[in-house]
Amino acid sequence: MVDRIVDPFKQFKGIVVPLDRVNVDTDQIIPKQFLKVIERTGFGRYLFYDWRYDLDGKSNAEFVLNFPRYSGGTVLLTRANFGCGSSREHAAWALLDYGFKVLIAPSFADIFYNNCFKNAILPITLDEVVIAQLIDEVIKKEGYALAIDLEEQTIQKPDGRGIHFDIDQFRKKCLLEGLDDISMTLQHEEKIRMYENKLQPFQLIDVKGL
């Protein structure tokens, strides 16, 4: 039995937070001065730090994450090229630690996109026209929530209408089964042990005299 490192992702419903910005880079997601910690937890407090707080460290009331209506939001809706810039995995850690489980955008930077899957975050790409419509609906309706069904690859809106999304089937399988790089490797634990046992006689050879 393979130990699960992350929770399986099958169905999820959450309040949507609209971040109406393009080209949001990883240095904005988690500024470089907060990268000293090596654990994956605790980064949520620094998410979008330069936008959430002013120079005195006080909450910026004009930034969307500070709007009371989006408190507890777990689905981030944003614009194209989200997660561009440096390859820091801390960006995914910060989003997850804050509470975001689903990201929806027209496009993501490649490395950031891969890091999301490694950390049990589902990044969904949709057409820009659909994104624009969703942002408009979220802004107009307080408490706007989306229900995501990964198995069916659908997003259900509050009015009951559905949106289909595409996803790589291998990545889908990993999320559904709660597998990360380590647990995927452990699926082949018996074969790895057999291989190591075959190598063991060679490891006992004394090479000092050769």
Supply the pLDDT for residue 179.
81
Residue range 62-72, pLDDT digits in tens: 999 999 999 99
What ranges in 39-151 are assigned the alpha helix state H? Answer: 49-52, 90-98, 110-118, 128-140
Supply the pLDDT for residue 203.
56
- Residues of the chain under the 70 pLDDT cut: 1-6, 180-197, 199-210
Supply the pLDDT for residue 3.
42
Domain ranges of the chain: 11-180
How, if at all, do strands 145-149 and 11-19 pair? antiparallel
Domain with residues 11-180, CATH architecture: Alpha-Beta Barrel (3.20)
Residue range 132-163, pLDDT digits in tens: 999 999 999 999 999 999 999 999 999 999 99
Supply the pLDDT for residue 12.
96
Supply the pLDDT for residue 36.
83
Q: How far apart are CA 52 and CA 63, in angstroms?
A: 6
